[in-house]
Amino acid sequence: MINSIYRSISSIVDNACGADEIAQLFVSKHEQLYTSVPTDTKELGVILSNINKRLGNRNIDGIHVSVDGIANSISRLKSGKSDGGQGFDADHLLNSTSKLVQI
């Protein structure tokens, strides 16, 4: 049985060892996530159009996504689940700061 009083912090995360390497790993993951979202209006329009085509007659224009909704969704993720080889998993979101959902 694990006694919750004696917690330790992992010194290895995704093959990164030590505080500096782990911090750099999270910086890298954040940069990948932050830059993966397009900001070009035309590109966003193409993405919206493609989503609407896939939805058929349904349209997403009236859907509202809130900070609380995103935080709730993240909290419901299962630890240890990955994206299938792209190097990002649920633990990155589960262990992130609450500021992540407010970006």
In tens, the pLDDT along 10-62 reads 778 888 888 888 888 888 888 888 777 667 888 888 888 887 787 776 666 67
Nearest to 71 by CA among 101, 91, 93: 101
C-alpha to C-alpha distance for 18 and 10, rounded to whole angstroms: 9
Residues 78, 90 contacting (CB under 8 angstroms) = yes
Assess if residue 22 is contained within a domain.
Answer: yes
**Residue 100 CB contacts under 8 Å (≥ 6 apart), including other chains:** 74, 93
The CB density around residue 31, as the number of other CB atoms within 10 Å, is 10
C-alpha to C-alpha distance for 29 and 95, rounded to whole angstroms: 13
Domain that holds residue 102: 64-103
Q: How many domains does the chain have?
A: 2
**Against a cut of 0.75, is the pTM above it?**
no
**Together in a domain, 17 and 54:** yes
**Together in a domain, 42 and 14:** yes
